[in-house]
């Protein structure tokens, strides 16, 4: 693969979104509250920095959050750091180690990580009132730009509960340079992190984006047929990067066990190849080998033209949506499935229990056997499964839509500017 050698950060071009359009989903009051919170922030310059504009939950969210910030009157931008393949190999190891993998951190890896950050820092121009740096890849930027004005916020999307101490020890001094850090859950905050402010903000999905917008069953059926999937037969669907933590091999085992009782069952696994995820292709190959040319297992990716509308169609056609993760920061795909009124079975890890209350809005599982039993249960009792899915949809509407995400950021900006916001908001969404 050719190495990317552009210097410094690249701007991401964004579409336009209007808060008013969301009133039909969340109600006028929510939109009025957002406008109120944004009043003191008119014209504030905001920069989000991340490592990819495509593939994965962070990119997914920023494509909505930033246009909504603009519509609320902030001057928000998004830039992507540049880096070589070596850099992205190191940051993927860092991601794995911070999720608990036992990995070494050799000097060459530290050097590659710092070198890329130095390059991004020295070419960085402009001043911002708020800079939000997403995840570990660009974390050292604050230290490297220590003289810059503005409030700097580190947004961690990872579950750090079992973080490898060597990697966390290396990262922590960079994070401590920030004015604030955002985590998805209180339990993700490391006890030794010394920082002025910690906010707890769960991620969110965009109910109006092509991935989640309404789509009829007929439209969905006509899309999935193009990929050789039969809309008349039952199917399990997991939409996830091909990554060991998403357990694609386990998902195939679940499908095989279910297929013994339901021979018509199909399995669709959709996984985009994010440019900051060099493991993707290798794990895709392993998954393909495990699928062993079963014609009812469909492994698809963006390379097959599966984009947002196609993901929407597959999720809407699913009999059961799976997210059988072994580790998960949040798992946007769980909310995506629930939003579409589907029964969702998720791994009992990370942010998934925030979205799935066992037996109420879906099922939580820890093993292949449990997951198989739950799938069979849903297939045998479709009415009960529908009730779960409907409650799940409402839970997402109240807690995990982009409007809640915007509100939490606006509250945090106000607080950092010395204007604390006092109204009560649901505990899961409140800045701490
Ligand atoms: N996604 C996608 N196409 C794919 C795989 C994933 O559009 O082939 C999207 C998925 O719909 C979700 C996001 O990428 O919006 C994944 O976010 P999640 O929080 O589930 O996992 P992450 O990739 O951030 O670990």
CA atoms of 432 and 414, how far apart (whole Å): 13
Q: How far is CA 92 from the centre of its chain?
A: 15
State whether the Cα torsion 37-42-48-53 is positive or negative: positive
Q: Which two tokens stand for residue 268?
A: 């669709």
Residue with tokens 């649901």: 426
Does ligand 1 have an atom closer than 6 angstroms to the CB of 337? no
358, 365 in Cβ contact below 8 A? no
Q: What angle do CA 129, 131, 136 make, to 5 degrees?
A: 165
Fold of domain 217-399: Rossmann fold (3.40.50)
Residues 10-204+401-416: name the CATH superfamily: Glycogen Phosphorylase B; (3.40.50.2000)
Looking at residue 54, what is its pLDDT?
86
Residues of the chain with CATH 3.40.50.2000: 10-204+401-416, 217-399
Counting Cα atoms < 13 Å in the Cβ hemisphere of 21 gives: 13
Q: Is 362 helix (H, G, I), strand (E, B) or coil?
A: strand
User: Which atom of ligand 1 is closest in space to residue 157's alpha carbon?
Assistant: 24
Contact assessment for residue 90 and residue 113, using Cβ atoms and an 8 Å cutoff:
yes
Atom of ligand 1 nearest to the CA of 308: 7
- pLDDT, tens only, 328-341: 999 999 999 999 99
Q: Which residues of the chain have pLDDT under 70?
A: 1-6, 423-432
The confidence score (pLDDT) of residue 6 equals 55
For the Cβ of 331 lying below 6 angstroms from any atom of ligand 1, the answer is yes
The answer, yes or no, to whether any atom of ligand 1 lies below 6 A from the CB of 134, is: no
Output the pTM of the full model.
Answer: 0.91
Q: Is the CB of 336 under 6 A from ligand 1?
A: yes
Atom of ligand 1 nearest to the CA of 328: 25
Residue with tokens 């995840």: 135
* Per-residue CA distances from 184 to 47, 104, 355, 406, 432 (Å): 20, 27, 12, 14, 11
CA dihedral 117, 119, 124, 128 (to 10 degrees): 10
**Directed axis angle between helix 57-71 and helix 402-416, to 10°?**
70
Model pLDDT, residue 276 = 72
pLDDT, position 3 = 38
């Amino acid at each position: 693969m050719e190495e990317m050698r552009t210097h410094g950060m690249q701007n991401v071009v964004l579409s336009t979104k209007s808060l008013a359009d969301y009133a039909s989903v969340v109600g006028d009051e929510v939109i009025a509250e957002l406008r109120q919170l944004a009043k003191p922030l008119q014209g504030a310059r905001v920069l989000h920095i991340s490592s990819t504009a495509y593939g994965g939950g962070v990119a997914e969210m920023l494509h909505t959050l930033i246009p909504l910030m603009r519509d609320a009157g902030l001057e928000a931008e998004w830039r992507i750091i540049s880096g070589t393949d070596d850099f992205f190999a190191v940051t993927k190891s860092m991601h794995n180690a911070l999720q608990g993998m036992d990995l070494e951190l050799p000097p060459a890896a530290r050097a590659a990580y710092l070198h890329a950050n130095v390059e991004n820092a020295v070419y960085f121009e402009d001043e911002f009132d708020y800079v939000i740096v997403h995840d570990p890849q660009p974390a050292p930027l604050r230290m490297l730009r220590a003289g810059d004005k503005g409030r700097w916020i580190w947004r961690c999307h990872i579950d750090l509960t079992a973080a490898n101490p060597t990697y966390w020890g290396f990262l922590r001094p960079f994070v401590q340079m920030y004015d604030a850090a955002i985590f998805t859950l209180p339990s993700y905050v490391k006890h030794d992190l010394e920082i002025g402010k910690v906010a707890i903000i769960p991620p969110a999905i965009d109910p109006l984006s092509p991935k989640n917008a309404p789509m009829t069953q007929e439209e969905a059926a006509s899309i999935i047929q193009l990929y050789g999937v039969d809309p008349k037969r039952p199917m399990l669907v997991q939409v996830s990067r091909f990554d060991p933590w998403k357990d694609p091999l386990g998902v195939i085992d679940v499908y095989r066990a279910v297929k013994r009782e339901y021979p018509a069952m199909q399995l669709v696994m959709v996984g985009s190849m994010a440019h900051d995820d060099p493991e993707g292709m290798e794990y895709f190959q392993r998954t393909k080998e495990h699928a062993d040319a079963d014609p009812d297992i469909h492994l698809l990716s963006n390379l097959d033209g599966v984009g947002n509308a196609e993901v929407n169609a597959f999720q809407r056609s699913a009999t059961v949506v799976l997210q059988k993760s072994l580790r998960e920061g949040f798992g946007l795909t769980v909310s995506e499935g629930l939003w579409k009124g589907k029964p969702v079975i998720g791994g009992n890890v990370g942010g998934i229990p925030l979205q799935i209350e066992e037996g109420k809005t879906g099922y939580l599982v820890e093993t292949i056997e449990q997951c198989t039993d739950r799938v069979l249960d849903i297939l045998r009792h479709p009415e009960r499964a529908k009730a779960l899915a409907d409650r799940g949809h409402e839970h997402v509407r109240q807690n995990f839509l982009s409007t809640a995400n915007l509100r939490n950021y606006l509250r945090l900006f106000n607080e950092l500017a010395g204007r604390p916001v006092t109204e009560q908001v649901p505990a899961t969404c409140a800045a701490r």
